Structure 1
Amino acid sequence: MSHTSEWKVRLYLFEEDQTTKARLELDTGTSKLTGHGTARCAPQDTDVPEIGDELAAARAMENLALQLKRTAYGDMQAVGAPSLQESPKPYAGWPAGD
Protein backbone atom coordinates (compact mmCIF):
# COMPACT_ATOMS: atom_id res chain seq x y z
CA MET A 1 0.00 0.00 0.00
CA SER A 2 1.41 3.38 -1.04
CA HIS A 3 0.89 6.47 1.08
CA THR A 4 2.06 10.07 0.75
CA SER A 5 1.31 12.95 3.09
CA GLU A 6 2.66 16.36 3.96
CA TRP A 7 3.06 17.58 7.52
CA LYS A 8 3.65 21.24 8.25
CA VAL A 9 6.12 22.38 10.90
CA ARG A 10 6.67 25.91 12.19
CA LEU A 11 9.47 26.90 14.56
CA TYR A 12 9.28 30.09 16.62
CA LEU A 13 12.26 31.38 18.63
CA PHE A 14 12.05 34.06 21.34
CA GLU A 15 14.99 35.52 23.23
CA GLU A 16 14.80 37.64 26.37
CA ASP A 17 17.21 38.17 29.27
CA GLN A 18 19.72 35.54 28.07
CA THR A 19 16.97 32.91 27.77
CA THR A 20 15.89 31.50 24.43
CA LYS A 21 12.54 29.75 24.12
CA ALA A 22 11.41 27.68 21.17
CA ARG A 23 7.91 26.64 20.17
CA LEU A 24 7.62 23.99 17.47
CA GLU A 25 4.18 23.43 15.98
CA LEU A 26 3.36 20.29 13.98
CA ASP A 27 0.19 20.10 11.89
CA THR A 28 -0.41 16.66 10.38
CA GLY A 29 -3.70 17.65 8.82
CA THR A 30 -5.58 15.50 11.34
CA SER A 31 -3.90 16.58 14.57
CA LYS A 32 -1.69 19.32 15.98
CA LEU A 33 1.13 19.01 18.50
CA THR A 34 3.36 21.69 20.03
CA GLY A 35 6.86 21.11 21.39
CA HIS A 36 8.67 23.49 23.73
CA GLY A 37 12.34 23.98 24.52
CA THR A 38 14.46 26.44 26.49
CA ALA A 39 18.13 27.38 26.60
CA ARG A 40 19.78 29.72 29.09
CA CYS A 41 23.08 31.53 28.79
CA ALA A 42 25.07 31.49 32.02
CA PRO A 43 26.20 34.98 33.10
CA GLN A 44 29.88 34.01 32.78
CA ASP A 45 29.43 32.63 29.23
CA THR A 46 29.90 34.58 26.02
CA ASP A 47 26.50 35.49 24.60
CA VAL A 48 26.18 33.71 21.23
CA PRO A 49 22.49 33.86 20.23
CA GLU A 50 22.87 31.11 17.58
CA ILE A 51 23.83 28.61 20.27
CA GLY A 52 20.73 29.43 22.30
CA ASP A 53 18.60 29.10 19.18
CA GLU A 54 20.13 25.71 18.35
CA LEU A 55 19.72 24.31 21.87
CA ALA A 56 16.17 25.61 22.37
CA ALA A 57 15.11 24.32 18.93
CA ALA A 58 16.71 20.91 19.53
CA ARG A 59 14.97 20.61 22.90
CA ALA A 60 11.63 21.58 21.33
CA MET A 61 12.19 18.89 18.70
CA GLU A 62 12.94 16.32 21.39
CA ASN A 63 9.80 17.34 23.26
CA LEU A 64 7.70 17.10 20.11
CA ALA A 65 9.22 13.70 19.26
CA LEU A 66 8.21 12.39 22.70
CA GLN A 67 4.64 13.59 22.20
CA LEU A 68 4.51 12.04 18.73
CA LYS A 69 5.76 8.69 20.07
CA ARG A 70 3.16 8.74 22.85
CA THR A 71 0.47 9.50 20.28
CA ALA A 72 1.65 6.65 18.05
CA TYR A 73 1.77 4.21 20.99
CA GLY A 74 -1.79 5.19 21.95
CA ASP A 75 -2.97 4.77 18.37
CA MET A 76 -1.28 1.35 18.20
CA GLN A 77 -3.05 0.20 21.37
CA ALA A 78 -6.36 1.54 20.03
CA VAL A 79 -6.12 -0.83 17.07
CA GLY A 80 -5.25 -3.82 19.25
CA ALA A 81 -1.44 -3.83 19.19
CA PRO A 82 0.16 -5.22 22.36
CA SER A 83 1.19 -2.70 24.99
CA LEU A 84 4.76 -1.51 24.64
CA GLN A 85 7.07 -1.90 27.60
CA GLU A 86 9.04 1.17 26.57
CA SER A 87 8.06 4.26 28.47
CA PRO A 88 8.95 7.41 26.51
CA LYS A 89 11.27 9.51 28.70
CA PRO A 90 13.43 12.55 28.07
CA TYR A 91 16.87 11.72 26.75
CA ALA A 92 19.66 11.31 29.31
CA GLY A 93 21.36 14.59 30.08
CA TRP A 94 18.35 16.74 29.21
CA PRO A 95 17.31 18.78 32.25
CA ALA A 96 13.79 18.02 33.42
CA GLY A 97 11.27 20.76 32.78
CA ASP A 98 12.81 22.12 29.58
Structure 2
Amino acid sequence: MSARDCREAGPMSTKHWTVDITIDDDGSGRTQAHARLDTGATTPTMRGDGRAARSRFDEDVPAIGDELAAGRALVELGQRLLAQADADLERTPA
Protein backbone atom coordinates (compact mmCIF):
# COMPACT_ATOMS: atom_id res chain seq x y z
CA MET A 1 0.00 0.00 0.00
CA SER A 2 1.44 3.38 -0.98
CA ALA A 3 1.41 6.52 1.16
CA ARG A 4 -1.26 7.93 -1.13
CA ASP A 5 -3.44 4.84 -0.61
CA CYS A 6 -3.08 5.27 3.17
CA ARG A 7 -4.14 8.92 3.01
CA GLU A 8 -7.17 8.04 0.89
CA ALA A 9 -8.16 5.27 3.32
CA GLY A 10 -8.79 7.82 6.06
CA PRO A 11 -7.11 8.90 9.27
CA MET A 12 -4.76 6.48 10.96
CA SER A 13 -4.56 5.80 14.66
CA THR A 14 -1.15 5.70 16.27
CA LYS A 15 -0.18 3.37 19.10
CA HIS A 16 2.96 3.60 21.18
CA TRP A 17 4.55 0.36 22.34
CA THR A 18 7.68 0.31 24.46
CA VAL A 19 10.41 -2.34 24.58
CA ASP A 20 12.63 -2.27 27.65
CA ILE A 21 15.87 -4.28 27.53
CA THR A 22 17.72 -5.21 30.71
CA ILE A 23 21.25 -6.62 30.35
CA ASP A 24 23.09 -8.49 33.10
CA ASP A 25 26.78 -9.42 32.80
CA ASP A 26 28.15 -11.79 35.43
CA GLY A 27 31.73 -10.58 34.91
CA SER A 28 32.99 -13.92 33.60
CA GLY A 29 31.86 -13.52 30.00
CA ARG A 30 28.24 -14.62 30.40
CA THR A 31 25.56 -12.10 29.52
CA GLN A 32 21.78 -12.32 29.81
CA ALA A 33 19.26 -9.91 28.32
CA HIS A 34 15.54 -9.61 28.93
CA ALA A 35 13.34 -7.68 26.50
CA ARG A 36 9.87 -6.68 27.74
CA LEU A 37 7.12 -5.34 25.50
CA ASP A 38 4.62 -2.95 27.06
CA THR A 39 1.67 -2.31 24.75
CA GLY A 40 -0.18 -0.19 27.28
CA ALA A 41 -3.00 -2.75 27.24
CA THR A 42 -4.21 -4.70 30.22
CA THR A 43 -2.84 -7.92 28.73
CA PRO A 44 0.29 -9.35 30.34
CA THR A 45 3.60 -7.93 29.21
CA MET A 46 5.33 -10.09 26.61
CA ARG A 47 8.97 -11.02 27.21
CA GLY A 48 11.93 -12.47 25.34
CA ASP A 49 15.22 -13.68 26.78
CA GLY A 50 18.67 -13.95 25.23
CA ARG A 51 22.08 -15.15 26.33
CA ALA A 52 25.66 -14.84 25.16
CA ALA A 53 28.84 -16.46 26.42
CA ARG A 54 32.36 -15.37 25.60
CA SER A 55 34.73 -18.11 24.54
CA ARG A 56 38.06 -18.23 26.36
CA PHE A 57 39.66 -17.55 22.96
CA ASP A 58 37.68 -14.33 22.38
CA GLU A 59 38.87 -10.87 23.33
CA ASP A 60 37.17 -9.33 26.36
CA VAL A 61 34.77 -6.93 24.62
CA PRO A 62 31.64 -6.73 26.82
CA ALA A 63 29.71 -4.71 24.22
CA ILE A 64 29.67 -7.72 21.89
CA GLY A 65 28.06 -9.91 24.55
CA ASP A 66 25.53 -7.16 25.24
CA GLU A 67 24.65 -6.90 21.55
CA LEU A 68 24.33 -10.67 21.08
CA ALA A 69 22.22 -11.20 24.20
CA ALA A 70 19.97 -8.20 23.45
CA GLY A 71 19.57 -9.23 19.81
CA ARG A 72 18.63 -12.76 20.82
CA ALA A 73 16.13 -11.44 23.37
CA LEU A 74 14.52 -9.26 20.69
CA VAL A 75 14.35 -12.20 18.27
CA GLU A 76 12.62 -14.34 20.89
CA LEU A 77 10.23 -11.49 21.71
CA GLY A 78 9.42 -11.12 18.01
CA GLN A 79 8.79 -14.85 17.66
CA ARG A 80 6.45 -14.79 20.65
CA LEU A 81 4.60 -11.77 19.28
CA LEU A 82 4.12 -13.52 15.92
CA ALA A 83 2.95 -16.71 17.67
CA GLN A 84 0.43 -14.69 19.68
CA ALA A 85 -0.87 -13.02 16.52
CA ASP A 86 -1.23 -16.44 14.85
CA ALA A 87 -3.14 -17.77 17.87
CA ASP A 88 -5.40 -14.70 17.86
CA LEU A 89 -6.10 -15.18 14.14
CA GLU A 90 -7.03 -18.82 14.72
CA ARG A 91 -9.64 -17.74 17.30
CA THR A 92 -11.08 -15.01 15.08
CA PRO A 93 -14.07 -16.04 12.96
CA ALA A 94 -13.59 -15.60 9.23
The answer to whether the superposition gives a TM-score over 0.5 is yes
1:9 matched to 2:19? The reply is yes
1:4 positional shift = 1.1
1:60 aligns with 2:73: yes
Aligned CA RMSD, in angstroms, stands at: 1.2
Report the CA distance between 1:79 and its aligned residue. Answer: 1.0
**CA shift for structure 1 position 8:** 1.4
Q: CA deviation at 1:41?
A: 0.1
Q: CA deviation at 1:77?
A: 1.2
Bigger share in helix: 2
**CA deviation vs aligned residue, 1:53-91 (integer Å, no higher than 9, x gap):** 00000000000000000110011111125xxxxxxxxxx
- Structure 1 stretches of at least 4 aligned residues deviating more than 2 Å after TM superposition: none
Structure 1 residue 44: Cα displacement:
1.4
Other-structure match for 1:38: 51
- Identical pairs, percent: 37
Distance 2:83 2:16 in 1: 20
Equivalent residue letter for 1:25? R
Equivalent position of 1:29 in the other structure: 40
User: Partners in 2 of 1:23 and 1:57 — Cα distance?
Assistant: 7
- Classify the secondary structure of the residue corresponding to 2:88: helix
Q: Unpaired segments of 5 or more residues in structure 1?
A: 82-98
User: Over alpha carbons, which structure has the higher Rg?
Assistant: 2
TM-score, L = length of structure 1 = 0.77
Where does structure 2 lack aligned partners over 5 or more consecutive residues? 1-9
Q: How many residues align?
A: 81
What displacement does 1:21 show? Answer: 0.4
